[in-house]
Amino acid sequence: MTTLNLDLGERSYPIYIDSQLLSDDTLLTKHIKGKRVCLVSNDVVYPLYGEQVKGLLAGYDVDQIVLPDGEAEKSLANFEKIMSHLLANGHGRDSTLIALGGGVIGDITGFAAACYQRGIDFIQVPTTLLSQVDSSVGGKTAVNHPLGKNMIGAFYQPKAVVIDIDSLKTLLPREFAAGMAEVIKYGILGDGEFFNWLEHNQALIQAGDKTILAEMIARCCQCKADIVASDETEAGVRALLNLGHTFGHAIEAEQGYGKWLHGEAVAAGMVLASKLAVKLNLLSSSDLCRVEKLLSYFNLPTEAPADMGFDAFIKHMRRDKKNLGGKLRLIIPTAIGRSEIRDDISEDTLQQIL
């Protein structure tokens, strides 16, 4: 088993990565302080792993909330549903929430944990590639609003992250591909060697080689852990992790949450950011081609939706959380393995790209 540590002083926590972790009855219980547990999952993941996880919690008083699947369910209505369940079932400050599912479940469960009785413990058990390499690590929790993605939330760290790579066996190909967008992001934004590794091992990744997948997930988690440890609340360098997201969130909000998967929108967003960088003479055309080629290999989109023009993009981008002082802040790649935060790019320049 690979065990990484996200170093945040008293709020540090382990990230466990291996096969068969959902059969290990010690990993979860060592991070539960009371006897009450609420398992939060969705109607796709719970039938696959819910009873198995509950079986690891013998001796605990366990109940569950099973939400519908989909990005559209990361809503204030479902946040209220979780709150009502916890209150109705007498959960206290010593209760622990377990988020069993993908990024939607992890985000909404973490936000519920941050808010319920001003903060209770939660554990991340991510079951999708995207959540394993990105959303389960780092403590960003939120729900969506029709006017913007992840605009209502909190920074709130879990007690542990348990990543069982065997759960990827039940992942739909489209969901796996969406996760690969976030994997590729790490290579583009700050680790050119990892991007080279992905190019070299793309066939083994696509084939589901467990050794390769474990190494890939660990490298992504380590990269994110290092960045979050240096900038937990995104005051600086952590914003680099949003490469492609300003464009991507605009696509998700405009198209309707769930029509494009998050990773699909991020993939198109990274290409748009790369094209912008080429236009500004910050990135070579050959690097842009490598980005497009690797994304295409994993069946990810490299073009924005045909029905989205500049006006549709800019109305959402103006609401982006990274913006300061009314200025758009964009993450721009300057080479494969290097990126920077820019707040000096005009809307006129963006219009030429979009």
The catalytic site residues sit at: 118, 140, 182, 224, 234, 238, 242, 245, 249, 262
The 121-126 sheet, strands edge to edge: 2-6, 13-18, 161-164, 121-126, 96-101, 36-42, 61-67
CA distance 47 to 203: 30
